[in-house]
């Protein structure tokens, strides 16, 4: 059972971890392994982070289950049986709970505990965290494992609180589930969450109205029960496959690297390749068709148009098909969705699509939705698949400060600044897992989590072995890294899309490209080189208070 005791005396730790999702749990395991006293603080009433909260119908990972899992234990990866090609939310949550039990992680997890403030006391050289309930925790280091898509966002629609029916957000889904049988349901948002949920809700609802601002590209997932033919060769070579995945940009193995430029192939060859990938299912394979799909607009147009034509072929009503065919961003520059019967769903008589780009939602009325044109839609239930305050939301919700007067919200006022996505200048001993400036969200997330946490654990271990106790990036290293992250993004097509990668879904959020899109392989080499060169770009020091404590 988790220890949920809330003591009144400050708790003293080596490392306080914020969050007990996939990142926080691995951090407990890894940091404990080097002899540190650690504890993770989790706002939810269970472990699992994203997979604890996102329980909407059809929630499933779009990275294959044999890839989307921890690699740190060969026994674990051999023993765990994934029932399907892609893991469902309940299955992934079951796996995470299994890991928590198997590695005895729960005794260092405190559930139902939201961290509200984090203050670095420079004199004492320690972080002081305070929980919502007023508990105080002191720790030499803090690891922010609070997630990138963990701050759900419902747009500030007028009238929302007067809606008489029930409304839901995908990221805060009721644990008991929701039965939409016989109801008139509205879904706002057609990102990955909406695309997964819409076909399932359509099967239950009397009528489903989808409000779409931006049409998104989606490819068939081609999910199926796990076959021996898929599982056996993978498990026979698990270690080698994991190592090979680390040599790829997305940290996902099994797809041969492209060698040819798009326009070097004939139109017939391209059509054949795209069709094969469409039939195979999965997004990485499609984006790996040619070397330049994410850097050349002309090249990308061919892959985008192939999918648009597929949509036109599937959706029977030509007007609906055209509305669903994305035309404002190159394929892959917003998160490429994977679906099961998404476009087919619009052929159902009980489903209608409403474009709200030209005619935006004006207000939520007590009985439904009203658009700027005055058009109204009567609804019994409303679902917001409207996304998250991505990448910076969770850290900005915590009041992070130092005794020198640094305030994280101010430091990040113009967009997030980090060195390697791992640390922030002016905030010593605070590590971030898969944060802005890291490739995390553009990769198989668990691979990035393991790489980040391993790097952090090695850094803390290095400090201890060299009688040091403070690490902080220099302002120059941070500036140079942010510049590099932007330059790399600008050399691709990514910035052309209004995505959450640039904060476009949050009105007023500074438009800054947040993830590092240079690839996991390149990033890992850079992190390894920095460490091998004595933590280049970081200032490492021994603090006086610590020296005094040691002498006492
Ligand atoms: O959120 P999103 P999500 N009026 O931000 C629309 C991961 N994930 O929860 O594009 C009308 O992508 C918004 O429109 P627009 C994955 O990384 C993974 O779906 O801003 N519409 C958009 O259509 C993913 O990328 C998996 O114009 C409004 C939608 O809401 C990330 O989570 C599954 C609006 C939000 O889409 C987030 O996905 C699920 C407004 N005022 C999620 N405001 C898998 O692994 C927003 N929208 C499969």
Q: Is the CB of 46 under 6 A from ligand 1?
A: no
Query: Measured between alpha carbons, how far is residue 497 from residues 50, 152, 376, 386, 484 in Å?
Result: 24, 21, 30, 17, 20
Q: Are strands 381-384 and 166-169 parallel, antiparallel or unpaired?
A: parallel
Q: Do domains 9-151+390-551 and 153-216+342-387 have the same CATH topology?
A: yes
Q: Report the distance separating Cα 110 and Cα 123, nearest Å.
A: 28
Q: Report the distance separating Cα 109 and Cα 1, nearest Å.
A: 10
Tokens of 225: 């029960």
Phi, psi of 8 (to 5 degrees): -90, -30
pLDDT of residue 256: 87
- If you ran DSSP here, which 8-state letter would residue 205 be given? -
Atom of ligand 1 nearest to the CA of 505: 20
Average confidence (pLDDT) over 122-147:
97
What's the 168 CA to ligand 1 centre distance in angstroms?
14
Domain boundaries, the chain: 9-151+390-551, 153-216+342-387, 255-334
Average confidence (pLDDT) over 165-183:
97
pLDDT digits over 524-541, tens only? 999 999 999 999 999 999
pLDDT digits over 373-415, tens only? 999 999 999 999 999 999 999 999 999 999 999 999 999 999 9
Average confidence (pLDDT) over 244-264:
94
The DSSP H or E segment spanning 138 is: strand 136-144
- Which residues have a Cβ under 8 Å from the Cβ of 514 and sit 6 or more positions away? 390, 391, 392, 415, 416, 436, 437, 501, 502, 503
Average confidence (pLDDT) over 247-252:
95
Q: Which of 213, 434, 444, 506 has the most ligand 1 atoms within 8 A of CB, as the residue to mutate?
A: 213
pLDDT of residue 9: 72
pLDDT at position 551 over 50 = no
Average confidence (pLDDT) over 339-362:
98
Q: Report the distance separating Cα 91 and Cα 528, nearest Å.
A: 34
Q: What is the mean pLDDT of the chain?
A: 96
Which of residues 273 and 551 earns the better pLDDT score? 273
pLDDT of residue 5: 46
What's the 153 CA to ligand 1 centre distance in angstroms?
10
Residue with tokens 């109205």: 209
Q: Report the distance separating Cα 197 and Cα 505, nearest Å.
A: 20
Indicate which residue's Cα is closest to atom 29 of ligand 1.
189
**Rounded (5°) CA angle 485-486-489:** 90
> Which residue from 437, 543, 409, 458 is spatially nearest to 122, judged by alpha carbons?
543
Indicate which residue's Cα is closest to atom 3 of ligand 1.
387
Q: Which of 191, 357, 363, 392 has the most ligand 1 atoms within 8 A of CB, as the residue to mutate?
A: 191
> Which residue from 405, 406, 401, 539 is spatially nearest to 472, judged by alpha carbons?
539
Query: What is the homologous superfamily of the domain 9-151+390-551 according to CATH?
Result: FAD/NAD(P)-binding domain (3.50.50.60)
pLDDT of residue 2: 43
CB atoms within 10 A of CB 483: 10
The distance in angstroms from the start CA to the end CA of the chain is: 38
Q: Is the CB of 68 under 6 A from ligand 1?
A: no
**Cβ burial, residue 201 (10 Å; 0-12/13-18/19+):** buried
Query: Measured between alpha carbons, how far is residue 342 from residues 258, 276, 299, 527 in Å?
Result: 28, 19, 26, 39
Half-sphere exposure of 506 (CA within 13 A, CB side): 21
Q: Is the CB of 383 under 6 A from ligand 1?
A: no
- Which residues have a Cβ under 8 Å from the Cβ of 431 and sit 6 or more positions away? 141, 142, 143, 144, 422, 423, 456, 459
Indicate which residue's Cα is closest to atom 12 of ligand 1.
191
> Which residue from 429, 424, 391 is spatially nearest to 410, judged by alpha carbons?
424
pLDDT digits over 428-458, tens only? 999 999 999 999 999 999 999 999 999 999 9
pLDDT of residue 254: 86
Q: Is the CB of 219 under 6 A from ligand 1?
A: no
Asked if 345 and 218 count as a contact pair (C-beta separation under 8 A), the reply is: no
pLDDT at position 459 over 90 = yes
Q: Is the CB of 61 under 6 A from ligand 1?
A: yes
State the pTM of this model: 0.96
pLDDT at position 278 over 90 = yes
Quick one: pLDDT band at residue 10, thresholds 50, 70, 90?
Answer: confident
What 3-state class would DSSP assign to 291?
coil
pLDDT of residue 8: 62
pLDDT digits over 103-119, tens only? 999 999 999 999 999 99
The DSSP H or E segment spanning 276 is: helix 267-280
Tokens of 176: 């008991």
Q: Which of 386, 446, 499, 509 has the most ligand 1 atoms within 8 A of CB, as the residue to mutate?
A: 386
Quick one: pLDDT band at residue 180, thresholds 50, 70, 90?
Answer: very high
Q: Is the CB of 387 under 6 A from ligand 1?
A: yes
Report the 3 state secondary structure along 197-235: HHHHHHHHCCEEEEEECCCCCEEECCCCECCHHHHHHHH
**Partners of residue 220 on adjacent β-strands:** 339
What's the 549 CA to ligand 1 centre distance in angstroms?
50
Q: What's the residue count for the chain?
A: 552
Indicate which residue's Cα is closest to atom 46 of ligand 1.
386
pLDDT at position 552 over 50 = no
> Which residue from 156, 182, 168, 158 is spatially nearest to 54, judged by alpha carbons?
168
Q: Report the distance separating Cα 104 and Cα 100, nearest Å.
A: 6
Percent of the chain residues past pLDDT 90, beyond the cut: 95
CATH number for the region 153-216+342-387 comes to: 3.50.50.60
Q: Are strands 538-541 and 470-473 parallel, antiparallel or unpaired?
A: antiparallel
pLDDT at position 464 over 80 = yes
Average confidence (pLDDT) over 331-342:
97
Q: Report the distance separating Cα 354 and Cα 363, nearest Å.
A: 15
Tokens of 303: 């892959």
pLDDT of residue 510: 93
pLDDT of residue 232: 97
pLDDT digits over 198-214, tens only? 999 999 999 999 999 99
Average confidence (pLDDT) over 299-304:
98
pLDDT of residue 1: 39
Atom of ligand 1 nearest to the CA of 360: 4
pLDDT at position 492 over 90 = yes
The DSSP H or E segment spanning 127 is: strand 126-131
pLDDT of residue 381: 98
C-alpha dihedral (221, 226, 228, 234), degrees to nearest 10: 70
Q: At what angle do helices 22-32 and 445-465 cross, to 10 degrees?
A: 30
């Amino acid at each position: 059972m988790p220890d949920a005791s809330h003591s009144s005396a400050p708790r003293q730790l080596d490392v306080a971890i914020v969050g007990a999702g996939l990142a926080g749990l691995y951090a407990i395991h890894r940091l404990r392994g080097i002899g540190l006293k650690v504890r993770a603080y989790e706002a939810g009433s269970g472990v699992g982070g994203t997979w604890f909260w996102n329980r909407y119908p059809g929630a499933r990972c779009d990275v294959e289950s044999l890839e989307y899992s921890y690699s740190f234990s060969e026994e674990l990866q051999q023993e765990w049986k994934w029932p399907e090609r892609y893991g469902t939310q309940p299955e992934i949550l079951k796996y995470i709970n299994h890991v928590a039990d198997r590695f005895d992680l729960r005794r260092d997890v405190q559930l139902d505990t939201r961290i509200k403030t984090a203050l670095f006391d420079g004199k004492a050289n320690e972080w002081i965290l305070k929980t919502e309930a007023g508990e105080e925790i002191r720790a030499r280091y803090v690891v922010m494992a609070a997630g990138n898509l963990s701050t759900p966002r419902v747009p500030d629609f007028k009238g929302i609180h007067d809606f008489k029916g029930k409304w839901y957000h995908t990221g805060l889904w009721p644990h008991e589930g929701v039965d939409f049988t016989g109801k008139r349901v509205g879904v706002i948002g057609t990102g990955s969450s909406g695309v997964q949920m819409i076909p399932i809700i359509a099967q239950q609802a009397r009528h489903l109205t989808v409000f779409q601002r931006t049409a998104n590209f989606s490819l068939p997932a081609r999910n199926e029960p796990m076959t021996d033919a898929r599982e056996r060769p993978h498990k026979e070579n698990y270690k080698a496959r994991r190592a090979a995945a680390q040599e790829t940009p997305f940290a996902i193995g099994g797809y041969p690297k492209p060698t040819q430029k798009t326009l070097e192939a004939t139109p017939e060859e391209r059509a054949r390749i795209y069709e094969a990938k469409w039939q195979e299912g999965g997004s990485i394979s499609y984006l790996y068709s040619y070397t330049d799909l994410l850097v050349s607009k002309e090249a990308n147009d061919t892959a985008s148009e192939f999918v648009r034509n597929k949509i036109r072929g599937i959706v029977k009503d030509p007007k609906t098909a055209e509305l669903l065919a994305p035309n404002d961003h190159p394929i892959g520059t917003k998160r490429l969705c994977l679906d099961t019967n998404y476009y087919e769903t619009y052929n159902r008589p009980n489903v209608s699509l409403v474009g709200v780009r030209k005619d935006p939602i004006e207000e939520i009325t007590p009985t439904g939705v009203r658009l700027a044109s005055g058009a109204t839609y009567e609804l019994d239930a409303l679902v917001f698949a409207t996304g998250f305050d991505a990448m910076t939301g969770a850290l900005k919700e915590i009041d992070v400060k130092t005794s020198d007067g640094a305030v994280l919200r101010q430091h990040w006022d113009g967009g997030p600044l980090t060195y390697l996505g791992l640390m922030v200048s002016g905030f010593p001993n605070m590590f971030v897992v898969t944060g802005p400036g890291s490739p995390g969200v553009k990769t198989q997330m668990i691979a990035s989590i393991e790489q980040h946490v391993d790097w952090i654990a090695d850094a803390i271990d290095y400090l201890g072995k060299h009688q040091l106790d403070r690490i902080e990036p220099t302002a120059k290293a941070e500036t140079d890294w942010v510049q590099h992250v932007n330059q790399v993004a600008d050399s691709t097509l990514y910035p052309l899309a209004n995505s959450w990668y640039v904060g476009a879904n949050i009105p007023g959020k500074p438009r800054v490209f947040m993830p590092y899109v240079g690839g996991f392989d390149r990033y890992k080499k850079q992190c390894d080189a920095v460490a091998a060169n004595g933590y280049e770009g970081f200032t490492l020091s021994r603090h006086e208070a610590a020296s005094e404590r040691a002498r006492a």
